[in-house]
Amino acid sequence: MHLGVSPTVFIFFGCLDYSGISASIFGGSATSAYYFLYCDPNARIGWISALVVVNLVGIIGPIFKFWSGASFRAGRAIVYLSSGACSCAPIMYYLAIHGVKNCLAFTQVLPFQESCSCFFYIHLV
């Protein structure tokens, strides 16, 4: 593809990249929010709803022409910074409510989960 030939195509694929970043952030953060807040359905629904709203702005926003403009640079930064803050907030909420001791079981599972994932990836590819 010759993206450099057409400025319109270049802008379109750049905006598609913005949408993909937001979808990826939502996918990763919604699963961790669901896991951490499984026993607290009200908080889980609230935090995942906030993640949906903030990341939908980042997914749908690039459809509009103003999104890729230099004048909206600060707006894009605000959307992605708030998306990152909303991604960390459910875990911080869990730590504030339940403490670090209840979280240790999860952190002890992570290295095992990562090594199993690498093992299956290597052997299946």
Q: Report the run of H or E that residue 30 belongs to, with start and end.
A: helix 7-36
Q: What is the DSSP letter of 69?
A: S
What does the block give as tokens for 120? 């299956």
Rounded Cα distance, 125 and 120, in Å:
8
User: Using alpha carbons only, what angle is made at residue 64 by residues 63 and 67, rounded to the nearest 5 degrees?
Assistant: 100
Residue-wise DSSP of 70-100: GGGHHHHHHHHHHHHHHHHHHHHHHHHHH-S
Q: Where are the domains of the chain?
A: 7-99
In the chain, pLDDT over 90 holds for what percent of residues? 15
Rounded Cα distance, 122 and 119, in Å:
5
pLDDT of 2 higher than 60: no
Q: Considering the entire predicted model, what is its pTM?
A: 0.69
- Residues 66-117 pLDDT 10s: 888 888 889 988 998 888 888 888 888 888 887 777 666 655 555 556 666 6
